[in-house]
Chains A and B, each alone.
Chain A
Amino acid sequence: MTTTPTATADAPPAPQGGAAGGAPKRSLASRIVSRVGGGVLQVLLVVVAVFWLLPTLGLFVASLRDEADNNATGWWTALLAPAQLSLDSYGRLLGDSGFTSSFWNTVWITVPSTLLVVVIASLAGYAFAWMEFPGRDWLFLVVVGLLVVPVQVALIPVAQMYGFLGIFGSIGGVILFHVAFGLPFAIFLLRNFFAGIPRDLLEAARMDGGKEFTIFRRVIIPLGGPAIASLGIFQFLWVWNDLLIAMVFADTGSQPMTRALQSEMRQFGTNIDVLAPGAFLSLIVPLVVFFAFQRYYVAGTLAGSVK
Chain B
Amino acid sequence: MAEVVLADVSKVYPDGTRAVDRLNLHIADGEFLVLVGPSGCGKTTALRMVAGLEEISEGTLRIGERTVNSVPARDRDVAMVFQSYALYPHLTVRQNIGFGLELRKVPKEEIRRRVDEVAKTLGLEDHLDRKPRNLSGGQRQRVAMGRAIVREPRAFLMDEPLSNLDAKLRVQMRAEISRLQRQLNVTTVYVTHDQVEAMTLGDRVAVMKKGVLQQVAEPQELYDRPVNLFVAGFIGSPAMNLLQGSVSSADGAWWVTLGENRLRLPDEVLQARPGLRERAGAELIVGIRPEDMEDAELGGADDADGGADRLLRSKADLVEALGSELLVHFGVAAPRVVTEDTKELASAAGAADLADIATTPLGGDTAPESVLVARFSPRSAVREGAPVAVRVDTSRLHYFDLDGGAAIWE
**Residues of A participating in the B interface, judged by any CB pair closer than 8 Å:** 1-7, 9-13, 198, 200-201, 203-211, 214, 218-219, 222-223, 300-307
Contacts and interface: CB of A to CB of B under 8 A. Distances in A.
Nearest to A1: B121
Contacts of A301: 89-90
Contact of B74 (A10, A12, A211, A219): A211
Contacts of B52: 206-207
Interface string B230-247: 000000000000000000
A10 B104 contact: no
B138 A303 contact: no
Given A208-B100, A210-B74, A307-B164, A9 B86 contact: no
Contact of B135 (A4, A5, A205, A304): A304
Contact of B140 (A2, A6, A304): A304
The A interface, classified by DSSP as helix, strand, loop or mixed, is: loop
A77 B103 CA distance: 66
Nearest to A8: B123
Given A7-B123, A10-B137, 12 more contacts: A1-B121, A6-B169, A203-B80, A207-B53, A209-B75, A209-B104, A218-B99, A219-B88, A303-B132, A304-B89, A305-B88, A306-B84
Interface centre among B85, B137, B142, B147 (most CB of A within 10 A): B85
A304 B131 contact: yes
6 contacts: A204-B82, A207-B52, A219-B88, A304-B132, A306-B84, A306-B86
Contacts of B87: 204, 304-306
B62 to A, nearest CB: 19
Contacts of A307: 84-85, 164
Given A207-B51, A209-B103, A214-B103, A223 B169 contact: no
Contact of B133 (A5, A7, A303): A303
A161 to B, nearest CB: 42
B136 interface: yes
Contact of A206 (B73, B83, B84): B73
Contacts of A203: 51, 53, 73, 80, 82, 86
B89 A302 contact: yes
Interface of B: 51-53, 72-75, 78-80, 82-90, 99-100, 103-104, 121-123, 131-140, 142, 147, 151, 164, 168-169, 172-173, 176, 183
A207 B147 CA distance: 10
Contacts of A11: 136
B373 to A, nearest CB: 32
A305 B132 contact: yes
Contacts of A303: 89, 132-133
A307 B164 CA distance: 7
B221 to A, nearest CB: 31
A211 to B, nearest CB: 7
A9 B138 contact: yes
Interface centre among A2, A203, A222 (most CB of B within 10 A): A203
B103 A210 contact: yes
B90 A223 contact: yes
Given A304-B135, A307-B164, A6 B172 contact: yes
B51 A6 contact: no
B74 A209 contact: yes
A13 B139 CA distance: 12
Nearest to A13: B136
A7 B120 CA distance: 11
Those 5 A-B pairs whose CB atoms lie nearest each other, nearest first: A304-B133, A10-B138, A3-B123, A304-B132, A306-B84
Nearest to A7: B123
A9 B103 contact: no
Nearest to B76: A207
A201 B136 contact: no
Nearest to A204: B86
A222 B122 CA distance: 27
Nearest to A225: B90
A43 B370 CA distance: 72
